Structures are given as C-alpha cells and as structure tokens.
Structure 1
Amino acid sequence: MNELLEVFLVSLRDGYVQVSAFVAATVLAFGLLQYWTGGAVISAVEDNERLQVLFGGLLGLTPGCGGAIVVMPLYVRGTVSFGTVVATLGATAGDSAFVILALAPEAALYAYAIAFVASVATGYLVDEVGLGVSRVDAAVAQLSPAATPDGGTVVNSSVGPNPAHDYGGPAPTHAHETGPDRHSRVLTPFSHFAHVLWWVTAVAGLVFGTLYLLRGGPEVALVADLGFDGLFTVTGIAGALLSLYLYLVGRHYVGEGEIARARDSFGSIYDTLTHAAMETSFVTVWVLVAFLAYEYFVLFSGANVATLAATAGILAPIGGAVVGLIPGCGPQILLASVYAEGGLPFSALSANAIAQDGDALFPLLAVDAKAAIVATIYNFLPAVVVGVALHFLWGPVFGMAEFGFGVL
C-alpha cells in the first residue's frame, strides 16, 4: 500500500513540475500573442496563400494543440487550403511534446524537426496535385452520392468563402459547454481563488522544473521540508491537485468553460490567464493518467517495456504511427512517457510525431469528418515511411534507433 501511494504522489509531483509548468508557460505565451496582436497571426495565415502550408506547419509545431486548433476553422471557412490542414496536423507536436521537451529535449529537437519537414512537404504535394479537393471529393461522391463535397481551396487559386461550411456547427465532442454554466456564492469565488493560487504554483513549478533540468534531472526525494526536494514535492503535488480541481470543478465557475478549443483572440489579460490555466489543467489530467498507467503497469506486471519494444524491431515505428492515428493527446502522452523512460526507439517517436493530430482533429471531425479522415490518412503514410527509414538507414549511422536517445 505504501508503494502504491508513493507511486501516486511521485506521479502527481513529477507530472506537474516536469511537464505541466512548462505547458502553462507555452500556452500562456501563445495566448498573450493572440491577445496583443488581436488575431493578427490568423490574419497572416489567411492573407499569404502561397505560404499557408508553411505557416500551418509552424503553428502545428508549437507545443500543445493550440496553434493547430486555430487552423481548423480557417479551412472550414474556406480560407486556407487542404494541404495546409495536412501540414498543420502532421507537424502538430500535441501535448506529448511537453513530455519530450521536458525529459528528452534533444530527441524533441530532432523528432519534431523531421515531422515538420515531412508534413510541410506532404502538404505542398497535396495542394499541387489537388488531392485534397477535386479528387477526394469525387471519390467521396461516388461512395456517398448524398454527401456534400468539402469545396476546399487550393494554392494558386483565389481563396474565397466556402458556403458549405459555416463554422457554426456543433462543438467538438470532447469540448464542454460554453460557460460559466453555474454560479455559486461559495464555489465561484473559491474557483477564482484556486485559479490565482494555481498560477502561483505554476510559476514556482517553472522555477523548480528549470533548476531540476539544470541539475541534470537528479533523483528527488519524496519529502516535505524547506530544502529543494521538499519545495519541489510540495509545489508539484499542490499544483497537480489544483489542476484536478480546475478541470473537474473550477471550469464550471470561471473561464469560458471549454477545453482544448483555441480562440482567435482574448478580451483581457485575466481572460488569457484563465484560458491558459484551463488548457494546462486539461493537459495535466492526461499527463497524470499517462504517468500512472505506465508506472502501475510496470509495478504490477514487472514487465520491461524496453525489452518488449526491442523485440518488435521494424514494428516499433509502425506501431508508433498507428498510435498516432488515435485522436486526442492521451495515447500520445503515454507513448512519449514510455519513450522518456527508455522504452521505445527514436524511430517510433518520430513516426508518432508525424502521424498524431492531437486535439486539433476534434474541431475538424465535428464539422467535416471526411476531411479529417483523409488528412489523417495522408499523414499516416509519410509517418510509416519516415519511421521505417529511421529504423533501417539513419539509426545504425547516427544512433537514433537506440533506446533513450536524447533522454536526460
């Protein structure tokens, strides 16, 4: 029982300080950029047609799903090309990027650079050949005559409105109702207080997380005192518990109430802070689930994940790409956690980085499932090719097929 409790507390602590604090900083930075520019980033993507695919890849490359989610409504409105969607989803690092950036920064640099190049190249190919417009629509029409073609745009043609897709449809299935949906004399002010306290722990967590990395990722004792280990532990557990509260309860009383749904702009600094806190709390829940699932699996089974992956051989990168087909960030965070533990080769991480769409796929699935499925397939193919190539060609030369590459 003591061992189970220790694993639980260590997962809470490490998940928050090593990952969530850095998530908060990145999501807040992107939100402040949107607030200060009044949505100029989105306007730049819409107005530069030839560079849309490149811009989409760059937005997808930003850690988390916020940048990628911004692009999906633009395609639905008919103002960016289908190739832009493919490049954005393929380059999307998702919330698993925070795990790799915090625990294996060198691997993150290589994996996401490879994903960016492969996805942008695929996006431009899709637009130049027209695979996302006439050919796919014609195939869909043959399979389902009653279906409405997506009418997306292509590079080298005028970008205009898409009347078939007014972005007023249902919210993504994993998003929550717009809010706040309830008011309470007790819970409303308490939730605002928890939100403020959450940011205090986030700043402290960022400081301790940075010091942790600068010290080379040492073992941290599970203690509660005024030393580094004690403050690290108290900050991590407090931040994780506050994140759980904000996600499960607080979002109903403070903020817009939606999770994993990017916004064009924000009305105030506090609004921006609230959005970042809610998004990070959502990520924290998934990080904790991933950490606990992995640690308890190893504890109860006694299995050596690295040994199992080593016996998979070429199936490891293919498996990484298959996991990337699953919408959402939860499975990807779990895969990233296993990699950070030395349980997967670099080829599997890279294949997953290209194939995964994170939460960005949900808004597109809600209003244009055909486009979402086709974009996912287009990214799965280069993911397999790149993953297998890394396994056979680059791995033996540069050592990138080795387990634990780039892990601190």
Structure 2
Amino acid sequence: MNELLTVLLESLRDGYVQVSAFVAVTVLAFGLVQYRTDGAALAAVEDNERLQVLFGGLLGLTPGCGGAIVVMPLYVRGTVSFGTVVATLGATAGDSAFVILALAPEAALYAYAIAFAASVVTGYLVDSVGLGVSRVDAAVTQLSPAATPDGGTVVNSGVGPNPAHDYAGPAPTHAHESGPDRHSRVLTPISHLAHVAWWLAAVAGLVLGTLYLLRGGPEVPIAVGLGFDGLFTVTGIVGALLSLYLYVVGRHYVGEGEIARARDSFASVYDTLTHAAMETSFVTVWVLVAFLVYEYFVLLTGANIATLAAAAGVLAPIGGAAVGLIPGCGPQILLASVYAEGGLPFSALTANAIAQDGDALFPLLAVDAKAAIVATIYNFLPAVVVGVALHLLWGPVFGMAEFGFGVL
C-alpha cells in the first residue's frame, strides 16, 4: 500500500513539475502571439495560395492543436486547398508535443521535423496530382452515405469555393456551445482564486523544473520542507491538484467552459492566461493518467513495456499510426508518455506524430465528415510508410538505438 501511495504522489509531483510547468509556458507563448497578431497568421495563409500547404504545415507544427484548428474553417469556406488540410493535420503535433518537448526534446526535434516534411510533401502531391483523392472520396461516400459534403480537392484548378459546402454560416473554429456558468457566489471566486494560485505554482514549478534538469535529472525523494526536495514535492502535488480542480470544476466558472480547444484570438491578457491554464490542466490530467497507468501496470505485473514493444517488431510503428487515428489528444499523450519512459521505439513515436490530428479534426468532423475521413486516410498512409522505414533503417543507417532516443 505504501508503494502504491508513493507511485501516486510521485506521478502527481513529476507530472506537474517536469511536464506541466513547461507546457504552461509554451501554451502561453502561443496564446500571446495570437493575442498580439489578432489573426495575421490566418490572413497570410489565405493570401498566399502557392504557399498554403507550407503555411498549413507550419501552423500544424506549433505545439498543441491551436494552429491546426483555425485552418479547418478556411477549407470549408473554400479559401484553402484540400492538400493544405492534409498537410496541416499531418504536421499537427497536438498536446502530446508538450510531453515530448519537456521529457525528450531531441526526439521531438527529429520526430516533428520528419512529420512536417512528410505531411507537406503529401499535401503538395494531393493538390498537384490528386493521389486518387476522388476515388477515395467516392469510396468513403459508399461506406458513409450520410457524410454528404464533398471532401475532395480541386486538382490543378486552383483554390476556390466548393459548391457542395452549402452551410448557413461560417464554420466554428472551436467548440464553445455552452459557456461557463459564472454566477455561483461560491465557486466562481474560488475558481478564480484557484486560477491565480495555479499560475503561482506554475512559475515555481518552472524554476524547480529547470533546476532539476540542470542537476541532471536526479532521483528526488518525497519530502516536505524548504529544501529543494520539499519544494519540488509540495509544488508538484499542489500544482497537480489545482490542475485537477480546474479541469473538473473550475472550467465551468472561469474561462471558456470548454478546454482542449484552441482559440484564434483573445480579448485580453487575462483571457490568454486563463486559456493557457485550462489547456495545460487538460494536458496535466492526461499526463497523470498516462504516468499512473504505466507505473501501476509495471508495478503490479512486472512487465517490461520496452520488451513487449521490441517483440512487436515492425507492428510497433503501425500500432503508433493506428493510435493516431483516434481523434483527440488524450491517447496521443498516453503514447508520448510511454515513449518518454523508454517503452516505445522512435519509429512508433514518429508514425503517431504523422497520423494524429489531435483536436483539430473535431471542427472538420462537425461540418464535413467526409473530408475529415479522407484527410485522415491520407495522413495514415505516410505515417505507416515512414514509421516502417524508420524501424528498418534507423539502427543500421544512423547507429542509434530506437528505444529511449532523445529522452532526458
């Protein structure tokens, strides 16, 4: 029982200090860019037709799903090509990028660079030669007749409005159908106070996490006190508990009401801070779930995840790509956490990075289900090809071990 409790406390502490504090800085930086530019990035995408695929890939490459989500309505409005959608979704790093950036930055650099290159190439091929999009489109229609909007691309004819996209109004950039209930006399002020306390913990966690990395990532015992071990433990556990509160309760009284959804603009700096806190809390919860599932599984079964993945052989990157087919960031964060623990090969991480769409697929699914399905298919194929190629060539050509590559 003591060992189970220790695993719980260490997961809460390490998940917050080692991951969430760094996630908060990244999300906040991206939010401040959105706040300051007020949509300038999207205007650049719309105005440069030949560079749309490249710009879409760059927006998808930004950590989190923000850049990718805001591109989807542009396709629905007919202002970007279908190849741009494919490139954006393929390059989408999602919230799992925060985990890899914090725990395995070198692996993140390689994996997301490969994902970006593969996705941009695929996007340009879709726009220039089609790659059989119309046939895939027709096949999807037969499988899902209810998905009536046309998900194909305008091959060799430039970008223009698609008559099949007959919508009453502009497509939503993110889901905020039910806003937060700010009228509680008790929970509203408590939630705002928790939000402020969360940022204080995040700043302290960033300092402690940086010192932890500078010390070479030593084992830190569970402790309470004013020393490094005590502050590291208390800050991590308090920050994790505040994240759980914001995720479960606070989001209904502070911020947008919906989390794990990007925004293309912000009304104020406080609004930007609130969104960053809510987004990071979402990542924190999933990181904690991943840590606990992994640690308890190993503790209770004695299994070696790395050995199981190694035994899977070439199926490991295919499995990584298959996980990427699941919409949303939760499963991808779990996979990234297992990789950071040394439980998956680099080929599986890269295949997942290409195949995953994160939360960016939800807005497209809402208004053009067939386009979303076709785009997912065109992301899965290069993910499998690249993942299998890395599995077969990574060790022999580059002389690097696949497991644990780039992990701090």
List aligned pairs for 1:2-401, cutoff 5 A: 2-131=2-131, 134-140=134-140, 147-150=148-151, 157-160=158-161, 163-165=165-167, 177-401=177-401
Output the CA distance in 1 between the equivalents of 2:143 and 2:317. 32
SS in 2 for 1:99: helix
Distance in 2, matches of 1:267 and 1:182, equals: 17
Distance change >3 Å, CA 143–CA 377, structure 1 → 2: closer
For the 8 Å contact 1:50–1:156, the answer to whether it is kept is no
What value does the CA root-mean-square deviation take over the aligned residues? 2.2
Q: Tell which deviates more after alignment, 343-352 or 138-147.
A: 138-147
- What secondary structure does 1:236 align onto? helix
Q: Report the 3-state secondary structure (helix = DSSP H, G, I; strand = E; otherwise coil) of the residue aligned with 1:180.
A: coil
Alpha carbons of 1:140 and 1:298: their partners in 2 closer, same or farther (altered >3 Å)? closer
Does structure 1 conserve the Cα–Cα contact (< 8 Å) formed by 2:83 and 2:153?
A: no
Please state how far the C-alpha of 1:150 moved relative to its aligned partner.
Answer: 3.9
2:404 is matched with 404
Q: Distance in 2 between matches of 1:204 and 1:360?
A: 31
Distance 1:100 1:322 in 2: 19
Classify the secondary structure of the residue corresponding to 1:51.
helix
1:338 counterpart letter in structure 2 = V
Letter of the 2:237 partner, please give it.
I
The structural deviation recorded for 1:399 is 3.2
Q: What displacement does 1:182 show?
A: 4.5
Work out the CA distance in 2 between the residues paired with 1:167 and 1:391.
46
2: CA distance, partners of 1:289 / 1:396: 35
| 1:176-214 deviations in Å (ceiling 9; x for gaps) | 643223511111111111111111111111111222222
- TM-superposition CA deviations, 1:49-83 (whole Å, max 9, x none): 11111111111111111111121222222221111
Amino acid at match of 1:256: E
| Percent identity between the two aligned chains | 85
Tell me, yes or no, if the aligned pair for 1:133 and 1:154 is still in contact at 8 Å: no
Partner amino acid, structure 2, of 1:304: N
**Conserved 8 A contact 1:57-1:116:** yes
How far apart in 2 are the matches of 1:141 and 1:318? Answer: 26
TM-score, structure 1 length as denominator?
Answer: 0.93
State the one-letter code of the partner of 2:149.
T
Measure the CA separation in 2 of the matches of 1:130 and 1:322.
24
Amino acid in the other structure paired with 2:160: V
- Looking at structure 1, the residues matched to 193 and 330 of structure 2 have their Cα atoms a distance apart, in angstroms, of 28
For structure 2, the 5+ residue unaligned runs are: none
Q: SS where residue 233 of structure 1 aligns?
A: helix
Shifted more, 235-244 versus 177-186: the winner is 177-186
Aligned residues: 406
State the distance in 2 between where 1:55 and 1:343 align.
34
317-326 or 391-400: bigger deviation = 391-400
Residue by residue over 1:145-190, the C-alpha shift from the partner in whole angstroms, topping out at 9 and shown as x without a partner, is: 7723246556762434765245657897xx5643223511111111
The change in CA–CA distance for 1:151 and 1:86 in structure 2 (over 3 A counts) is closer
1:139 deviates by 4.5
Query: AA paired with 1:164?
Result: D
- State the one-letter code of the partner of 1:24: A
Aligned 8 A contact 1:355 1:380 in 2? yes
How far apart are residue 320 of structure 1 and its match? 1.2
Q: Hey, what's the Cα distance between the residues in 2 that align with 1:244 and 1:345?
A: 30
Which AA in structure 2 matches 1:316? A
